[in-house]
Amino acid sequence: MSNAHDHGPDCDCESCGDPRSIDFLDKYLTVWIFGAMAVGVGLGYVAPSVTQPIQDLHLVEIGLVAMMYPPLAKADYSRLPTVFRNWRVLGLSLVQNWLIGPTLMFGLAVFFFSGLVPGLPARPEFFLGLVFIGMARCIAMVLVWNELAEGSTEYVTGLVAFNSLFQILTYGVYVWFFALFLPPLLGMETLVDGITAFDITPMQVFEAIVVFLGIPFAAGFLSRYVGTRAKSEEWYDEQFVPAIDPLTLVALLFTVIVMFATQGETIVAAPADVLLIAVPLTIYFVVMFLVSFGMGRGIGADYSTTTAIGFTAASNNFELAIAVAVAVFGVGSGVAFTTVVGPLIEVPVLLALVNVALYFQRRFDWGEPAAGPPGPAAGEPTTDD
């Protein structure tokens, strides 16, 4: 994964704003995930007995912790003052990430999978998977989308750092509210994999967060603290971060393989489930991006700032969602399967939205200089003519 950077509209950098410039591994992430799914399904179908050693050795859990570490080690928490300095942008991002996003995903999950809509059967495992995804805000791939769309490095880094901290404090509360408290009020007392879905306890969710977000967060924070002081910030950002970057993709693909190996026979029997899950996820990404972009422009934020908050709001932390689903329902559950499908859909949709953002950059007057990078006041709201 590349490090985000800012360039002005007339920057002569060949990679600036060009989706072809994305790192080769990141660019074809959908292909790699499909390949990992195929390998996992094939392995599980041919050798179903592989499920037991995967569970006994906790291979999925190891892969999840490993994939969470790099983005949390990359986050520069010293950038937080930049976000807090502009209360309008911070307030807008808070509304988008922690009010609109979770509510929209919950609404889509209810519509498609609750069984309350005539003609659409109840799929409680898919419902819970979408809820787990919707409550987890993005702290990793958003850096890539923001870079490709020429968004503000300063703001996206600050928002990633903020979301990393905020998730630790609030994710369990959000899952409790949207997955445990609201559904029974709607009459959604349904079984998932043989157990009552909404009888899971907040403590189970909290324990999963402590392990799968708390441990990598502590490791990432200590890495930056020790690395920047023992060496330098330049060494950390230019040498250490690129060195650990591939770990996220490697760990993700490893996790996908072992997870799908435990579900090989089930997936072969129902391949249409992937497409079924893709529909509400695609709607979510597109709606969140367009709404967030419109809100950013509505408060007079410049293009680079609007892009940063737009992609932050439209992306999700699938690693955390997968971890909680696995910890609570098990690696072979339909809930875990739903969360794994998430990044498969996010990558192509968000790449398409990068081009939409670049079109908006050309289409609208953002009140920015005609050439050159933003000045010192970049990111502060401006008034359109």
**Domain extents in the chain:** 31-363
Give the pLDDT band (50/70/90) at residue 375: very low
Measure the CA–CA gap between 185 and 176, rounded to whole angstroms: 13
Whole-model pTM?
0.74
Structure confidence at residue 367 (pLDDT): 67
191 - beta bridge partners? 196
Q: How far is CA 224 from the centre of its chain?
A: 22
Structure confidence at residue 9 (pLDDT): 43
Considering only 27-31, 162-166, 188-192, which range has the smallest mean pLDDT?
Answer: 188-192
Give the pLDDT band (50/70/90) at residue 380: very low
Give the pLDDT band (50/70/90) at residue 3: very low
| Token pair 């002081």: residue | 229
Mean confidence (pLDDT) of the chain: 79
Mean local confidence (pLDDT), 306-311: 92
Exposure of 260 by Cβ count < 10 A (0-12 exposed, 13-18 middle, 19+ buried)?
A: buried
Mean local confidence (pLDDT), 150-165: 81
Measure the CA–CA gap between 300 and 384, rounded to whole angstroms: 6
Rg (CA), the chain: 20
CB 125 within 8 A of CB 334: yes
Is the predicted pLDDT of residue 374 greater than 50, yes or no? no
Structure confidence at residue 199 (pLDDT): 54
Q: What is the pLDDT of residues 332-354, one digit of tens each?
A: 788 888 888 887 788 789 888 98
> Of all residues in the chain, what percent carry a pLDDT higher than 90?
24
Considering only 129-143, 261-275, 308-322, 326-340, which range has the smallest mean pLDDT?
Answer: 261-275
Structure confidence at residue 17 (pLDDT): 43
Is the predicted pLDDT of residue 210 greater than 70, yes or no? yes
Question: Into which CATH architecture does domain 31-363 fall?
Answer: Up-down Bundle (1.20)
Is the predicted pLDDT of residue 274 greater than 60, yes or no? yes
Is the predicted pLDDT of residue 20 greater than 60, yes or no? no
Is the predicted pLDDT of residue 294 greater than 50, yes or no? yes
Q: What is the pLDDT of residues 42-79, one digit of tens each?
A: 898 888 888 889 888 888 888 878 877 887 788 777 87
Considering only 10-14, 148-152, 353-357, 373-377, which range has the smallest mean pLDDT?
Answer: 373-377
Is the predicted pLDDT of residue 97 greater than 60, yes or no? yes
Is the predicted pLDDT of residue 13 greater than 80, yes or no? no
Measure the CA–CA gap between 309 and 158, rounded to whole angstroms: 10
Long-range contacts of 159-162 (CB under 8 A, 24+ apart): 159/83, 159/93, 159/308, 159/309, 159/312, 160/71, 160/75, 160/312, 161/75, 161/76, 161/77, 161/79, 161/80, 161/83, 162/80, 162/83, 162/90, 162/93
